[in-house]
Amino acid sequence: MKNVVFGILVVFFALLSCRGGEDDVQNIDQILNFYIKNSAGKDLLNSTLDSTFATVTMNDVFGTANNAPVTFSLKKTTDTINYIEYIAGAKRLTLDSVSPENRTYHSRIALALRLSVNKVVTDTINDTLEIEYKYTPTVFEVSKVYYNHELKFTKQPNLPNVVTIIK
C-alpha cells in the first residue's frame, strides 16, 4: 500500500512541476553576428584574400585572469561572406540597476586582428568591443554594441543582432 501511495505522489508532483504559464518565459536574444569590411565592401575576415585578417582572437577584459579567451565561431553566409558569431562567454558586469527587474549589464572584449599581406602577418590591430544587455523578467537581450567606444548597433525589435564594422 505504501508503494501505491508513494507512486501516486511521485506522479502528482511530476505533473505539478510540468505546469507553467507564458508568464514564466523569458525571451533570450544574445547571439551577435559581426561582419568586418573595408570601405569598398571587401570581406576582411576572408583569410584566403590578400590584405585581410589571418586570425582573430577575443579576450575577456573583465575576466579573472589576464588571458581569458572568449569563445566565438567564424562562419560564412550562403554568399560565402565571413562573419564572427558570438553567443556568450565574456563576464557580464552590472552597468546600472534601476530595480531588480530592470537591469543593464555589459561585457568588454579585446579583439586582436592579425593583418596578413601576401600571406605574411604584418600587423596586429587591437580593438575593443563592448556589449550592453537589457534584462527584465520577460527579456534578456543585446541592447547596444560599441566598437572602439563608438556606438555601432542598437537593438531593433524582431531583427537579428548584426553588426558591420568598416575598417
In a structure prediction context, what are the per-residue pLDDT tens digits for the chain, which is 167 residues long?
556 555 565 555 555 566 555 557 889 999 999 999 999 999 999 998 999 999 999 999 999 988 899 999 999 999 999 999 999 999 999 988 878 889 999 999 999 999 988 888 889 999 999 999 999 999 999 999 999 999 999 999 999 999 999 99
Taking the C-alpha atoms of residue 39 and residue 146, their distance in angstroms, rounded to an integer, is: 19
Residue 50 placed within a domain? yes
The pLDDT of residue 17: 60
Residue 120 falls inside a structural domain: yes
Stated pTM of the model: 0.81
37 Cβ neighbours under 8 A, 6+ residues apart = 43, 44, 164, 165, 166, 167
Dihedral sign for Cα 63, 65, 71, 72, please.
positive
In a domain, 150, yes or no: yes
Q: Which amino acid is at 91?
A: K
Q: Is residue 156 part of a domain?
A: yes
For residues 101 and 93, give the distance between their C-alpha atoms in angstroms, rounded to a whole number: 16
Q: Cell digits for 83?
A: 562573419
Does residue 2 sit within a domain?
no
Per-residue pLDDT at 165:
96
**74: containing domain:** 27-166
Within-domain flag for 106 = yes
Backbone angles phi, psi at 71, to 5 degrees: -80, 135
Residue 79 domain flag:
yes
* Cα(35)–Cα(43) distance, integer angstroms: 8
* CA 165 to chain CA centroid, nearest Å: 15
Domain count, the chain: 1
Has residue 39 been placed in a domain? yes
